[in-house]
């Protein structure tokens, strides 16, 4: 089999088309900007995507052909992933006419102190500025959930986020185009659109060989399958929100990387009469938006899942395929009866998600096989669903415990029940004894107590820096109690969010 | 404002704000490197306590890109960090005492090559038993410094004779600084064996001293420069020196420029933090809650060496009273040696831990007497003319805490809200609200008297522009802006004509650390003095030149008026003075008056004055999971006559949120082997944007100039607001105790993570059921 390939990465930066050849495919965007281009406005705070000092914005075309702007963490984003996109950094915003409205608002609100996190905040705000008109306090918090500031306490940054729109409106129309859009009047969304169209003309697959490293970006599922068969030891890369850390934190050398992000077929969310299908390259933000449409109970989990820049890069299938015992998506997907679609060459098979996890970091996945998509059965009218994540901090934290419950009643009894937990065992796992204790029972306090006792049979959690074993088990039992309260007709409010506006 | 000022007291933007927002502000990692620059990494101990039997670095040396590998043996002179005690090596010798202790360093052609190479070391350890437990260290008398005791009267006897007694114990976690810019240094060899080092440090002079002693050179040979830090918070006061030493040692060895940007995980593993404490207390009090006697036993985890633990723990003792008069008091302070990072300065410098104890006690008394803790607080506040002597013998002359509290109680509707909250808690068994008001009284000055000095250097160029330099460093607090405002006011020039230059040991010698909240107090005064010298010099010259009396010359709002016949711009004056051979450069110097302190007896007047504040916090707790939200915070804080209200409010809000992090989400967790496992932002959780209270009202106390003659009667603001966050902790405790209808107190330890809260709830419930049975 042969494919049309090229060895040059093309993207736009500052109105200029950049053609890159002979770079390490695991070079991060941050190091590229700072070390090669000497654009040092973008900072390294942690090199693991947790502080946001390195936030930049990438633009590409969505399926409707419109420009989408996404804030991402440059510190764990590999340079070849810029292919076909426009990159905006903090240096992109200032014009000859002065500061961008975001920058002016930040300045006037005294929103910087030490200033080190500031470029990252500016860029997260730029991502928001380009996608929302008049954001609410919540939207601002979600957009800035991946940016840490140790100095200001955030209040003036939120003020700036609210004020930035006023600056743009206050300007005369001829200034507006210059100021609200980077660089100059020529650099408008329509100019960017033509840049993106120009880049889209490079339909060949990007294949880079650099010293001992190879980077392959197939354009179709069959090409992807072909590469995976040819390189069974290759690293399969989607958003890189985990693999990026292998490079920055473990100094791991990645020999062969196969990148999913340019397979258009894998960037699809589709729906049949039976299930919602989310393919492997769909980022977490889009995936959760779709999930929440079908299952509004997942709204809190959506907002608490990492941060917006991580959700903009990472994928739902990546979360699943990574298979961490503390991955946030799996408990909910397991109780919803999700199945994974696996593919090796031309062979496909389907597996219940819970059966995919065999043991700690072990999955039912053959060499050269990959997770093509996840299929979530459409909700039934009788389904009662609850999902909770427990962590030290609300935003951008990893679960101590993540719990999901899905239940159906019939004639006053618990007809079906599926319960799954993350953070309680070596894999995301169903609470089978607990389910048994509940099945076909009346939903009463006595049943609850039996089920709580059964939880101790299901799980022997560990103590670590996130929580002690005792707390994990105890809070899991308490979440079962909360599930009982919210599904058995209790009139008491038991959610912080219901009282805290 | 006692008088109207032109520039001082205005909310000017920070001088670098326009550079921050565009990414043009240059931090050390942004300085263009010189040809041949190498990059450093450290090899760290993997055991908490062990002899180093054999260190094999042959593979490290052979690794790709490696230019030099150094161990303790390569240090030409002194191998020690720290101040007076010299009890911590730069690189370990024979023995390691914590996981993360530096053993060797590498210089390589890239950051990645250096980091890859250090992983190749083969070190043979002989493992020894280790200890991280504070009370075990006390029992074994494992101390980094001698135990200190501060007594007045007969506390034990007063407690026994009091109508009521209580005692207890609680623990307070430490805190990682998490400055967004990690530790970094860039060392450049100069001629004749000298070095120029860019160091992200709050104390260039200290770095200069340590490097000079390491190389066996003199202070004149070493220049340390710092334009700005990306945050410091105390973490770059003493501890920046290690990283500057490593860069310089490798530069010395290779005779090339060496940059050491520390990986975030390494930074957290290596560097010291806020001290965690175990606190035991006894108190005797009367039926109104008036404290009659108190015994406080503070034991802190200092880590492997003294570092700044002496003054940190002293400040704990000095703030054991917070805003309360303690007549009969006995305070003991143990400075424990443990197999962990050497703990260091952190905003508040031991004061927060000191205050937490007495606030905890006040809450316990209130619960015992079934009173609102506010009434117990009020009855114990320092008096105006009596009951105003601190345990260390300093008279509290500027006490505004009673009226400040009254104002805040009113403006925050504390009493009404407390009633509403208690009523709400009756109605909902699963969500509980809590509220608390806590005061802060914080002493301003370095307790070591000799550090309370500052120098400044001002140049006026013959175009009328000014370069301003002083010993203070900029870490985001806005010091350079405030001092520039002072100089602009003195010379009556537009601040845009002043360039604040980098702090460097070449311009102001022997400068103290920018710490103890004293930055604008002492550097502002020194700069004002320099500016006054220059103004006087110009007036003398102008009077002679224009043949008028000096009184007829006025510098005003950017112009210079020569009697009523002539008006010159400042630029014209500068040019004229230069042309007539008048010196346009001056130094200024300041030493804080009135202070004196005897460390042997722990008595005197260690503080020039006190800064005050109070906060009301309201929280909502999910008692099933222990999760919570801070729903409202009202703060009233005293900054005297503010030099810059916007910057002061920034310090208050930022300090509060940082303090809230310390007491809530920020947990340091060591595993059984003694490794700190929360060494990255993925596991160590500082407050994020959603933790900001939705209602956050911050106000400055109105019309209260500092009664001491500080710079424009302002007050220091760096540290005091951090302790306003105690209100969050006690609001959480209040919410928890609603479960037992406020009849019994809960054992809540800090940080109040959801787990800590749920544990306190469980303990309360089991206590309740045993007493009910």
Q: For position B2, what pLDDT does the model report? A: 45
| A163 touching chain B per CB within 8 A | no
Q: What are phi and psi of B395, to 5 degrees?
A: -80, 135
Residues 6 or more apart whose CB falls under 8 angstroms from that of A132 comprise A139, A143
> Are residues A276 and A269 in contact, defined by beta-carbon separation less than 8 angstroms?
yes
Q: pLDDT tens digits for B118-145?
A: 999 999 999 999 999 999 999 999 999 9
Closest-CA residue of chain B to A248: B112
Nearest-Cα residue of chain A relative to residue B232 = A114
Distance CA A74, CA A55 (A): 6
**A387 and chain B in contact, CB less than 8 A:** no
CATH code: domain B131-176+274-392 is 3.30.365.10
Instruction: Please indicate whether, in this complex, the C-beta atoms of A392 and B11 are within 8 angstroms of each other.
Output: no
Q: Which residue has the higher pLDDT, A359 or A63?
A: A359
Burial A352-378 (b: 16+ CB within 10 A, else e): ebbebbeeeeebebeebbbbbbbbbee
Q: Is B625 close to A464, i.e. CB distance below 8 A?
A: no
Give the per-residue pLDDT at A184. 46
For chain B of 773 residues, list the mean pLDDT of each consecutive stretch of 10.
Answer: 81 97 98 98 98 98 98 98 88 98 98 97 98 98 98 98 98 98 98 98 98 98 98 98 98 98 98 98 98 98 97 98 98 98 98 98 97 97 97 97 98 98 96 98 95 97 98 98 98 97 97 95 98 98 97 96 94 98 98 94 96 98 98 98 98 98 98 98 97 97 95 98 98 97 94 98 89 63
- pLDDT tens figures, A102-150: 999 999 999 999 999 999 999 999 999 998 888 999 999 999 999 999 9
Give me the residues paired with residue A362 across strands: A359
Q: Do A113 and B476 touch (CB under 8 A)?
A: yes
Please give, rounded to a whole number of angstroms, the shortest distance from the CA of A477 to a CA of chain B: 9
| Region of B193 on the Ramachandran plot (φ > 0 left; ψ -120 to 50 alpha; else beta) | left
Average the pLDDT over A269-275 and give the result: 97
In this prediction, residue A183 carries a pLDDT of 42
Name the closest residue on chain A to residue B261, using Cα atoms.
A44
CA distance B371 to chain A (A): 27
Of A116, A148, A268, A90, give the one whose Cα is nearest residue B690: A148
- Residue B258 in contact with residue A41, Cβ under 8 Å? no
φ, ψ at B27 (rounded to 5°): -100, 175
Residue A103's φ and ψ, nearest 5 degrees, are: -65, -40
- Chain B CB within 8 Å of residue A478 CB: yes
Q: What angle do CA B372, B376, B378 make, to 5 degrees?
A: 110
CA atoms within 13 A on the CB side of B738: 29
Query: What does the angle CA B724 – CA B727 – CA B728 come to, to the nearest 5 degrees?
Result: 110
Q: What does DSSP assign to residue B676?
A: B
| Domain range list for chain B | 36-129+177-270, 131-176+274-392, 453-591
Binary contact (B230, A114; C-beta < 8 A)? yes
pLDDT at B531: 98
pLDDT at B161: 98
Say whether the ipTM exceeds 0.90. Answer: yes
What does the alpha-carbon distance between residue B311 and residue B308 come to, in Å, rounded to a whole number? 6
Q: Could you tell me which chain B residue has the CA closest to the CA of A496?
A: B622
CB contact under 8 A, B180 and A45: yes
Separation in Å, CA B634 to CA A243, A253, B400 = 44, 52, 18
Task: Count how many Cα atoms sit within 13 Å of the Cα of residue B663 in the half-sphere of its side chain.
Answer: 26
Residues 165..224 of A with a Cβ closer than 8 Å to B: which?
none
Q: Do A153 and B694 touch (CB under 8 A)?
A: no
pLDDT at residue number B772 = 63
Q: Rounded to whole angstroms, how far apart are CA atoms B360 and B350?
A: 16
Between CA A76 and CA A73 the distance in angstroms is 6
Determine the 3-state secondary structure of A102 from DSSP. helix
B453-591 has the same fold as B131-176+274-392: yes
Residues A182, A136: contact at Cβ < 8 Å?
no
CA distance B473 to B179: 15
Q: A472: distance to nearest CA of chain B, Å?
A: 9
Q: How far is B132 from chain A (nearest CA, A)?
A: 16
Contacts of A293 (CB under 8 A, 6+ apart): none
B673 close to A (CB below 8 A): no
Report which secondary-structure segment, H or E, holds B523. helix B519-546
Question: Which H/E stretch holds residue B360?
Answer: helix B351-369
pLDDT value for B3: 60
The yes-or-no verdict on residue A175 having pLDDT over 90 is no
The answer to whether B424 contacts chain A (CB < 8 Å) is no
Judging by beta carbons within 10 Å of its beta carbon (0-12, 13-18, 19+), is residue B601 exposed, middle or buried?
A: exposed
Angle at B255 between CA B248 and CA B67, to 5 degrees: 90
Q: How far is residue A165 CA from its own chain's centroid?
A: 27
CATH code of the domain made up of B453-591 = 3.30.365.10
pTM beyond 0.90, yes or no? yes
CATH 3.65.10.10 fits B36-129+177-270, yes or no: no
CA–CA gap between residue B634 and residue B628 (Å, rounded)? 18
As a whole number, the mean pLDDT across chain A is: 94
In chain B, the percentage of residues whose pLDDT exceeds 90 is: 97
Give yes or no for a contact between B715 and B647, defined as CB atoms under 8 angstroms apart. Answer: no
Q: Is A488 in contact with A443 (CB distance < 8 Å)?
A: yes
Cβ(B90)–Cβ(B72) below 8 Å: yes
B556-592 pLDDT per residue, tens? 999 999 998 899 999 999 999 999 999 999 999 999 9
- Cβ burial, residue B62 (10 Å; 0-12/13-18/19+): exposed
Enumerate domains of chain A plus CATH numbers. Answer: 16-202 (3.10.20.30), 264-377 (3.30.465.10), 383-500 (3.30.390.50)
Peptide bond into B115 cis (omega under 30): no
Q: Looking at the complex, does the CB of residue B743 fall below 8 Å from at least one CB of chain A?
A: no
| C-alpha neighbours within 13 Å on the C-beta side of residue A406 | 21
* Mutate: best of A114, A117, A182, partner B, most B CBs <10 A: A114
Residue A403 and residue A459: Cα distance in Å, rounded? 13
The whole-number average pLDDT for the span A24-48 is 98
How do beta strands A384-390 and B195-199 pair? unpaired
**pLDDT given for residue B84 in this prediction:** 72
Q: What is the pLDDT of residues A405-447, one digit of tens each?
A: 999 999 989 999 999 999 999 999 999 999 999 999 999 999 9
Q: pLDDT band for position A179 (50/70/90)?
A: very low
A182-223 pLDDT per residue, tens: 444 445 788 899 999 999 999 999 999 999 999 999 999 999
Catalytically active residues of B are 719
Q: Test B228 with A99 for CB contact under 8 angstroms.
A: no
Q: Give B233's contacts in chain A (Cβ within 8 Å).
A: 150
Q: For B88-222, where are the alpha helices, taking DSSP H only?
A: 111-118, 134-139, 155-161, 204-215
B497 phi and psi angles, rounded to 5 deg: -90, 5
Q: In angstroms, what separates the C-alpha of B226 from chain A's closest C-alpha? A: 13
Q: Which two tokens stand for residue A252?
A: 């791991």
């Amino acid at each position: 089999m042969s494919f049309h390939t090229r060895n040059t990465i093309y993207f736009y930066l500052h109105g200029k088309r950049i053609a890159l050849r002979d770079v390490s495919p695991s070079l991060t965007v941050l190091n590229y900007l700072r070390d090669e281009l000497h654009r040092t406005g973008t900072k390294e705070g942690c090199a693991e995507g947790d502080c946001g000092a390195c936030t930049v914005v990438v633009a590409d075309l969505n399926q409707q052909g419109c420009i989408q702007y996404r804030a991402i963490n440059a510190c764990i984003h590999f340079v070849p992933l810029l292919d076909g996109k426009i990159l905006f950094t903090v240096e992109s915003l200032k014009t000859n006419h002065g500061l961008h409205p975001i920058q002016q608002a930040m300045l006037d609100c005294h929103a910087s102190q030490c200033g080190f996190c500031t470029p990252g905040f500016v860029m997260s705000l730029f991502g928001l500025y380009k996608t929302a008109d008049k954001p609410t306090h919540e939207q601002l918090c979600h957009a800035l959930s991946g940016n840490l500031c140790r100095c200001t306490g955030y209040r003036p940054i939120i003020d700036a986020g609210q004020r930035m729109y006023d600056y743009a409106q206050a300007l005369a129309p001829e200034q507006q185009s210059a100021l609200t859009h980077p660089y100059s009047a020529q650099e408008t969304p329509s100019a960017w659109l033509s840049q993106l169209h120009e880049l889209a003309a490079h339909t060949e697959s990007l294949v880079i060989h650099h010293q001992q490293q190879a980077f392959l970006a197939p354009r179709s599922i069959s090409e992807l399958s072909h590469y995976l068969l040819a390189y069974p030891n290759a690293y399969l890369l989607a958003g890189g929100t985990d693999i990026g850390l292998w490079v920055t934190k473990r100094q791991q050398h990645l020999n062969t990387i196969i990148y999913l992000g340019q397979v258009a077929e894998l960037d699809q969310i589709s729906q049949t009469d039976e299930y919602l299908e989310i393919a492997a390259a769909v980022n977490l933000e889009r995936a959760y938006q779709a999930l929440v449409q079908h299952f509004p109970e997942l709204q809190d989990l959506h907002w608490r899942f990492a941060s917006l820049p991580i959700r903009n890069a990472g994928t739902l299938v990546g979360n699943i395929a990574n298979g961490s015992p503390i991955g946030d998506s799996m408990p909910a997907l397991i109780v919803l009866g999700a199945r994974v679609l696996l593919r090796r060459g031309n062979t496909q098979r389907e597996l219940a998600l819970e059966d995919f996890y065999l043991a700690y970091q072990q999955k039912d996945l053959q060499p050269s096989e990959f997770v093509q998509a996840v299929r979530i059965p459409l909700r039934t009218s009788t389904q009662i669903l609850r999902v909770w994540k427990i962590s030290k901090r609300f935003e951008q934290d990893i679960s101590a415990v993540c719990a999901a419950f899905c239940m159906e009643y019939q004639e006053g009894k618990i007809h079906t029940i599926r319960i799954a937990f993350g953070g309680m065992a070596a894999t995301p796992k169903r609470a089978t004894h607990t389910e048994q204790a509940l099945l076909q029972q009346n939903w009463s306090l006595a049943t609850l107590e039996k089920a709580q006792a059964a939880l101790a049979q299901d799980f022997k959690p560990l103590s670590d820096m996130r929580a002690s074993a005792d707390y994990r088990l105890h809070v899991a039992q308490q979440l079962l109690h909360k599930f009982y309260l919210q599904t058995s007709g209790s009139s008491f409010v038991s959610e912080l969010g219901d009282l805290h506006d | 404002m006692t008088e109207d000022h032109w520039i001082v007291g205005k909310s000017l933007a920070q001088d670098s704000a326009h550079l921050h927002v565009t990414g043009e502000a240059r931090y050390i990692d942004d300085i263009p490197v010189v040809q041949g620059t190498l990059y450093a990494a450290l090899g760290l101990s993997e055991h908490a306590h062990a002899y180093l039997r054999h260190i094999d670095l042959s593979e490290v040396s052979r690794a790709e890109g490696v230019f030099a590998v150094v161990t303790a043996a390569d240090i030409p002179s002194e191998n020690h960090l720290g101040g007076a005690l010299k009890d911590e090596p730069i690189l370990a010798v024979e023995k390691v005492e914590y996981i993360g202790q530096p053993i060797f360093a590498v210089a390589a052609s890239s950051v990645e090559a250096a980091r890859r190479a250090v992983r190749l070391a083969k070190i043979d350890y002989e493992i020894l038993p280790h200890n991280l437990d504070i009370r075990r260290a006390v029992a074994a008398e494992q101390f980094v410094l001698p135990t200190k005791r501060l007594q007045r009267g007969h506390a034990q006897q007063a407690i026994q004779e009091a109508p009521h007694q209580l005692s207890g114990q609680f623990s307070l976690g430490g805190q990682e600084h998490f400055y967004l810019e990690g530790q970094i240094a860039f060392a450049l060899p100069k001629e004749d064996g000298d070095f120029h080092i860019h160091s992200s440090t709050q104390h260039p002079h200290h770095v200069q001293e340590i490097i000079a002693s390491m190389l066996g050179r003199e202070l004149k040979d070493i220049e340390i420069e710092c334009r700005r830090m990306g945050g410091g918070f105390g973490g770059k006061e003493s501890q920046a020196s290690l990283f500057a030493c490593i860069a310089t040692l490798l530069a010395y060895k290779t005779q090339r420029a060496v940059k050491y940007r520390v990986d975030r995980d390494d930074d957290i593993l290596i560097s010291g933090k806020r001290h965690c404490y175990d606190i035991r207390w006894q108190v005797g009090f009367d039926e109104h809650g008036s404290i009659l006697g108190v015994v406080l036993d503070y034991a802190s985890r200092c880590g492997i060496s003294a570092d700044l633990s002496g003054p940190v723990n002293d400040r704990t003792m000095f703030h054991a009273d917070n805003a309360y008069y303690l007549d009969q008091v006995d305070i003991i302070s143990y400075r424990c040696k443990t197999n962990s990072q050497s703990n260091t300065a952190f905003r508040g410098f031991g004061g927060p831990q000191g205050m937490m104890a007495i606030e905890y006690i006040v809450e316990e008394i209130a619960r015992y007497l079934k009173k609102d803790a506010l009434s117990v607080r009020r009855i114990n506040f320092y008096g105006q003319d009596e009951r105003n002597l601190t345990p260390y013998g300093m008279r509290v002359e500027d006490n505004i805490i009673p009226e400040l509290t009254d104002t805040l109680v009113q403006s925050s509707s504390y009493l009404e809200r407390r009633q509403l909250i208690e009523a709400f808690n009756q109605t909902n068994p699963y969500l509980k609200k809590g509220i608390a008001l806590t005061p802060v009284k914080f002493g301003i000055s370095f307790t070591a008297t000799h550090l309370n000095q500052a120098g400044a250097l001002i140049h006026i160029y013959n175009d009328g522009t000014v370069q301003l330099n002083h010993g203070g460093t900029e870490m985001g607090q806005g010091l350079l802006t405030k001092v520039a405002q002072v100089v602009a006011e003195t010379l009556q020039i537009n601040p845009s004509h002043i360039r604040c230059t980098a702090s460097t040991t070449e311009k102001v010698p022997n400068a103290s650390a920018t710490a103890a909240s004293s930055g604008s107090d002492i550097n502002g005064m020194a700069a004002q003095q320099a500016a006054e010298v220059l103004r006087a010099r110009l007036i003398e010259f102008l009077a002679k030149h224009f043949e008028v009396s000096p009184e007829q010359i006025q510098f005003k709002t950017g112009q210079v008026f020569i009697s009523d016949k002539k008006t010159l711009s400042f630029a014209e004056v500068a040019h004229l003075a230069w042309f007539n051979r008048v010196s346009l450069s001056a130094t200024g110097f300041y030493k804080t008056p009135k202070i004196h302190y005897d460390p042997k007896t722990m008595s005197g007047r260690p503080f020039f004055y006190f800064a005050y504040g109070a906060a009301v916090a309201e929280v909502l707790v999910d008692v099933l999971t222990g999760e919570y939200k801070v729903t409202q915070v009202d703060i009233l804080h005293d900054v005297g006559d503010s030099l810059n209200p916007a910057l002061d409010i920034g310090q208050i809000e930022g300090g509060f949120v940082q303090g809230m992090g310390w007491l809530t989400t920020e947990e340091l967790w060591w595993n059984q082997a003694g490794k700190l496992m929360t060494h990255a932002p993925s596991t160590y959780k500082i407050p994020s944007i959603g933790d900001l209270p939705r209602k956050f009202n911050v106000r400055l106390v109105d019309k209260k100039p500092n009664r001491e003659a500080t710079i424009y009667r302002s007050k220091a603001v760096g540290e005091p607001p951090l302790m306003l966050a105690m209100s969050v902790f006690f609001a959480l405790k209040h919410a928890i105790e609603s479960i037992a209808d406020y009849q019994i107190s809960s054992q809540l330890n800090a940080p109040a993570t959801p787990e800590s809260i749920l544990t306190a709830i469980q303990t309360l419930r089991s206590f309740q059921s045993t007493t009910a049975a």
